[in-house]
Each structure stands twice: as structure tokens, then as C-alpha cells.
Amino acid sequence: MDKKYLCYCGLTCENCAVKVRVEPAAKVLFDEMKKAGFEEVINYIPGGEGFWPFLKGMAVDGLCVSCKDGGGDPGCSIRICAKDKGVDMCAFCEDYPCENLAAFFERNPVLDRDNALLRDKGWEAWAICQDKRKSVGYTYQDDGGKEKEPGE
């Protein structure tokens, strides 16, 4: 598990469909289009001047960065609160759980459970859970963020 993909709320980008499925598909598309010579003609295709740099960026550098590195909604109340309080993860905040997380956890109960695991059992147990999910290609979008675990 790469901690650079961790968000304050407990979400890890490594379990996001964009990172798990879209970025690899973008790489395949980029490579195939490059082999076919699209790099030379893309600017003659309507919208191509914006599409090609976007596709190349997604395929080469990856699209996603965590909210800690500037990704996501800059107005996220969870991120603003965590930054103001100087906490690495909400699970470690003295005010956890708080009203900033309540609605978020209603929509994403798996993250509520993940934060409880992190808070109660620590990084190692949390990382094992995330690595297990990653190994089977799990994404939050697979179950809508509900409490279902991979393989259930």
C-alpha cells in the first residue's frame, strides 16, 4: 500500500475505479493510438488538442493524486478540517468521529469501518485490509461503498 494515495477521510485512491481500471485502460488506448500515428494528426481532429495531453497524462503519469497532494475537491470540509487540525488521518483526530464525517460515512459505510479498523488496530491491520482489496481488483464503486467485502 502506497501512503501517497491516502486521503484524510480514510479513502485510498488505490481502491478507486479510476486508478484500478481507467488508468490502465488509458495506457492501452494511448499506446495503441501512438502506434497508429495519432500523435501526428490528433490536432486535426476536433477536440484532439485537449484530448491527447489528457490521455497522455493519464497513461504516463496517472490521473489521480490524493487530496493531500492536491487532488479532489479543494472545498471538502473533511480535508479543510484535517488540515486545520494537523491530523494525518481523521481516524487519529481527538474529535473522531465528527459531524464532518457523518454524512460521508452514511454514503460510504465501508470507510466508516475502515477508519474504525485504523483507529482500533493501527496501520498494519488497515494496510492488510487495503492490500487484500487491491489484490482482487476491488474498487469502492463495485459495491457503492457499502459494507460488502471483496468476494462476499
Structure confidence at residue 152 (pLDDT) = 47
137: region left, alpha or beta (phi > 0 left; psi from -120 to 50 alpha): left
Q: How far apart are CA 105 and CA 107, in angstroms?
A: 5
Burial 39-62 (b: 16+ CB within 10 A, else e): eeebeeeeeeeeebeebbebbeee
Full pLDDT tens readout for the chain, 152 residues? 677 788 999 988 888 888 888 889 999 999 999 999 998 999 899 998 899 998 998 888 877 778 888 888 889 999 999 999 999 999 999 999 898 899 889 888 889 999 999 999 999 999 999 889 888 888 888 765 554 554 44
Q: How far apart are CA 26 and CA 43, in angstroms?
A: 19
Structure confidence at residue 150 (pLDDT) = 47
